[in-house]
Amino acid sequence: MTTSLKKLVTAVSTSVALMGAGYAAADIQIGIAGPMTGPVAQYGDMQFSGARMAIAQINAKGGVMGEKLVAVEYDDVCDPKQAVTVANRLVNDGVRYVIGHLCSSSTQPASDIYEDEGILMITPASTSPEVTERGYELVFRTIGLDSMQGPVAGNYIASLNPERVAVVHDKQQYGEGIATAVRDTLKDKGIEIAMFEGVTAGDKDFSSLVTKLKQADVDYVYFGGYHPELGLILRQARQAGLDAVFMGPEGVGNNDINTIAGEASEGLLVTLPPSFDEKEENQELVNAFEAKGEDPSGPFVLTSYAAVQLVAQGIEAANSQDPFDVAAALRSGTFETPIGTVEYDKAGDMKSFEFVVYEWHSDGSKTPLN
Amino acid sequence: MQDLLYFSQQLINGLTIGSAYALIAIGYTMVYGIIGMINFAHGEIYMIGAYTALIAITGLTALGIAWLPLILIVALLCAMLVSSSMGWAVERIAYRPVRGRHRLIPLISAIGMSIFLQNYVHLAQGSRNVGFPALIEGGFNFSADGAFEMSLSYMQITIFVTTLVCMTALSLFISRSRTGRACRAVSQDLGMASLLGIDTNRIISATFIIGAALAAVAGLLLGMYYGSVDPLFGFIAGLKAFTAAVLGGIGSIPGAMLGGLILGVSESMTSGYLSGEYKDVVSFGLLILILLFKPTGLLGKPEVEKI
């Protein structure tokens, strides 16, 4: 009964929204494209909830240039093929600003279409450096890059005055990239790198590696890669009695590492985007989310909120609704958002995006260290 | 002294993993010895064994049973039972109907079966890594005055001893029992064995069942040793075990054991003294070298053309 009622309400509200979009031609349409269904739908929920909240709050304050913002939502299932279909639908619907997509693999092909069709895109979640590497004019993001994490991790390890550090990676673009950045940062600080070595992603037996780490008598190990390998390394290191401290990028920071490593994940260091919802200046906003029964603590809620705000502020700064003018305005101005002061470089990346070092606990919780 | 301890530690690591490779390799080598086909779905049988053992362990722990030997034995029996039935079913469904056709047909059927089983587990168990509880913890530590401490865990001893027991039992079975004798007869000449009144279909099924049961033992042991399983668990292990079987001489049971140990030790020595990145390069390079100079593998007998 309740579910059918819910369906009815959704159906009615969707048709109302569609009608609204059809009638009010003067409104500014904001496309939100991300996964509503599929394996990473929980991340999509964060994106939609943040963007909807921003649209509602901006409209409550009178909209942008006297016009209301209207959300138009699309589901790409985090599938590159669906993302292209969604991008084409967006073009046909006449949307000129997109908040999305979420997965880098979706953002990449969709952004080709947006750039060609003159649509401004701000992704609140895609961290792959390639997204902004192609010299596109209309592509922006409100999140850091994979390549920014390495130096943060390297500097943190250096600040602990380690004697010998080992850097291990999974030989893949993401992992080796970050690991190389960590190694270079540490070398610049004059810290001895005892080992720089790759493992094969998908491998299960790391006993030889662990033995080697023990022999090298390292006190810190940085691992560039994902949780399946690091989880096993942690566990096998614990069993072999290696007492080094491990550190990894955001690719290892999810609860699956606890199911693999168990107790051994206690004390792991992880670099993650900061918890924007814990900042004092965002408390009013956090309360607004909580009043709606939504959780603002997910990593992509406030980045999506900021993305909508940036579109609105960009339109106002450019005093034009042409996406190219808005893009130029975004590149030249500085903007205040819940994720901090945003300034863009030529590529469409934020000039600074801090990553925070957390201490991971085996129950899945984490405490910030810097 | 320090260096000696380090060397022994890498040797132990290599022997542990090598004996597990050998257990899986038996399945490849026996099937090849009897019907001359490579059962590419064997790695998946091993993966299913690991999953079954994990499910059994989780179930028993949930029931409040904490007595370790009971948990291990029940998990082992469940894994062997499920894997053996799978091995038997795979042969009945995918290989028997195409037996005796062109060599490529059963091979393609085997690859199809492997893809099917992998995706079946993806759907049934999810594609995430699942943690495997470490049931056997602790071990012996040896240390000289230096900082490096060599450790030999109870888990490694368990793997080694179990493999040894399984191999001895298998050798006795093949050389002494009636079914074992029939196995040897079928592997020498399938047609002749059938004329002499051996039920060859039964013997072929038995081969698949034995191979699958040993793979299940390896699945339980390695699941506990590594600490996690996922649906792709069997892919790399299957590839390595197949290499071990070819290295030792495909079709030969002692060859599979030797091949597994050589492969395991060469992998761990490469990681230990060179770099983990060259692990696979060295082990597959070794395979090519041995095949160049001894095409039948280390203990394989030269194939006599059957007329």
Q: Domain limits of chain B?
A: 9-135+152-293
Q: Give A364→chain B minimum CA distance, Å.
A: 15
Of residues B232, B268, B275, nearest to A197 (C-beta): B275
Between A and B, how many residue pairs show a Cβ–Cβ distance under 8 A? 97
Instruction: Say yes or no for a CB contact (<8 Å) between A207 and B13.
Output: yes
Does A183 map to a domain?
A: yes
A122 and A190: one domain? no
Do B137 and A203 make contact, defined as CB atoms within 8 angstroms?
no
Q: How far is CA A200 from the centre of its chain?
A: 26
Tell me the CATH number at A293.
3.40.50.2300
Average pLDDT over residues A234-255: 87
A217 and B CB contact within 8 Å: yes
Q: Do the domain assignments include residue A114?
A: yes
Q: Is residue A80 in some structural domain?
A: yes
Mean pLDDT of chain B, nearest integer:
89
Sort out which chain B residues have CB atoms less than 8 A from A202's CB and list them.
232, 235-236
- Summarised one tens digit per residue, pLDDT across range B183-196 is 999 988 888 999 99
**Domain total in chain A:** 2
For A146-165, the pLDDT digits (tens) are: 788 888 899 999 999 999 99
State whether A214 and B149 contact (CB < 8 Å). yes
Question: Would you call the peptide bond into A101 cis, given omega within 30 degrees of 0 as the criterion?
Answer: yes
What's the pLDDT at B126? Answer: 73
Residues of A with Cβ-Cβ distance to B226 under 8 angstroms: 204-205, 232, 236
Q: Which chain B residues are Cβ-neighbours of A232 within 8 angstroms?
A: 226-228
* A36 and A171 part of one domain: no
A110 touches B at CB < 8 Å: no
Torsion angles phi and psi, residue B195, rounded to 5: -65, -30
Total Cβ atoms within 10 A of residue A197? 18
Per-residue model confidence (pLDDT) at position B306: 46
pLDDT, tens digit (0-9, with 9 covering 90-100), for A76-95: 988 889 999 999 999 999 99
B267 contact A CB<8A: yes
Task: Verify that A225 and A108 share a domain, yes or no.
Answer: no
A26 and A90 co-located in one domain: yes
| Per-residue pLDDT tens over the stretch A162-195 | 999 999 998 877 788 889 989 999 999 999 899 9
Who wins on pLDDT, A1 or B207? B207
Residue B289 neighbours by CB distance under 10 Å = 10
A192 domain-assigned: yes
Would you place residue B82 in the very low, low, confident or very high pLDDT band (cuts 50, 70, 90)? very high
Position A349 in a domain: no
What is the residue-averaged pLDDT of chain A? 87
Greatest CA span in chain A, whole angstroms? 72
Nearest-CA distance from A264 to chain B in Å? 11
B289-298's contacts with Cβ under 8 Å and 24+ in sequence apart are B290/B247, B291/B246, B296/B249, B297/B246, B297/B247, B297/B248, B297/B249, B297/B250, B297/B252, B297/B255, B297/B259, B298/B247, B298/B248, B298/B249, B298/B255, B298/B258, B298/B259, B298/B262
Average pLDDT (A265-275) is 88
CB contact under 8 A, A200 and B276: yes
Neighboring chain B residues of A209 at a CB cutoff of 8 Å: 271, 276
| Chain A residues whose beta carbon lies within 8 Å of the beta carbon of residue B13 | 205, 207-208, 211
**Residue A122 resides in a domain:** yes
- Both A155 and A292 in a single domain? no
Cβ under 8 Å to A: B residues 140-199: 141, 147-149, 151, 153, 155
| Chain-chain contact of B131 with A262 (C-beta, under 8 angstroms) | yes
pLDDT, tens only, B216-248 = 999 999 999 998 898 888 988 898 999 999 999
Residue B86 has pLDDT above 80, yes or no: yes
The answer, for B1 touching chain A at a CB cutoff of 8 Å, is no
Q: Does A256 touch chain B (CB under 8 A)?
A: yes
For residue A82, give every residue at least 6 positions away whose Cβ sits within 8 Å of its Cβ, in sequence order, or none: A75, A76, A106
**Element housing B298 (H / E):** none
Percent of chain A beyond pLDDT 90?
Answer: 56
Contact B130 A259 (CB under 8 A): yes
Q: Is A255 on the interface with B (CB under 8 A)?
A: no
Tell me which residues of chain A, numbers 165 to 194, contact chain B at a CB-CB cutoff of 8 Å.
171
The answer to whether residue B146 scores a pLDDT higher than 70 is no
User: How far off is chain A from B58, nearest CA to CA, in Å?
Assistant: 13
Q: Are residues A249 and A293 in the same domain?
A: no
Tokens of B11: 């040797």
Q: Which of A207, A236, A256 sits opposite B129 (nearest CB)?
A: A256
Position B105 pLDDT exceeds 60: yes
Range 72-111 of B in CB contact (< 8 A) with A = none
- Shared domain check, A249 and A193: yes
Indicate the residue type of B179.
T
| Per-residue pLDDT at A41 | 73
Query: Out of 1.10.3470, 2.60.40, 3.30.2010, 3.30.70, which CATH number does the structure's domain B9-135+152-293 have?
Result: 1.10.3470
Residue in chain A lying closest to B18 (CA): A205
Residues B67-74, mean pLDDT to the nearest whole number:
92
A121 and A259 in a single domain? The answer is: no
Q: Which residue of B has its CA nearest to A214?
A: B148
CA distance A99 to chain B (A): 29
Write the DSSP symbol of residue A240.
Answer: T
Per CB-CB distance under 8 Å, the chain B contacts of A171 are 277
For residue A76, the cross-strand partners are none
- B131 vs A232: CB contact, 8 Å cut-off? no
Asked if B226 lies within 8 A of A239 by C-beta distance, the reply is no
What is the separation of C-alpha A219 from the centre of its chain, rounded to a whole number of angstroms?
A: 30
pLDDT at B175 exceeding the cut of 50: yes
Residues of A in contact with B17 (CB under 8 A): 205, 207
Q: Closest CB to B131: pick one of A205, A215, A259.
A: A259
Structural domain boundaries enclosing A35: 2-144+278-338
Please report the sign of the dihedral spanned by the C-alpha atoms of residue A174, residue A176, residue A177, residue A179. Answer: positive
Residue A25 lies in a domain: yes
Residue among A197, A200, A260 minimizing CB distance to B228: A260
Residue A347 lies in a domain: no
Supply the pLDDT for residue A17: 47
Distant-in-sequence, close-in-space partners of B258: CB < 8 Å, separation ≥ 6: B247, B248, B298, B299
Q: Are residues A35 and A129 in the same domain?
A: yes
Q: How high is the pLDDT of residue A16? A: 45
Q: Do A204 and B222 touch (CB under 8 A)?
A: yes
CB contact (8 A) between residue A202 and residue B235: yes
Residue A234: its pLDDT value, please? 94
Whether residue B134 lies within 8 A of chain A, CB to CB, comes out as yes
- Predicted local distance difference test score (pLDDT) of residue A2: 47
For residue B86, give how far its alpha carbon lies from the nearest alpha carbon of chain A (Å).
24
**From B16, B147, B153, residue closest to A239, measured CB to CB:** B153
A211 contact residues in B (CB cutoff 8 A):
6, 9-10, 13, 272
ipTM over 0.90: no
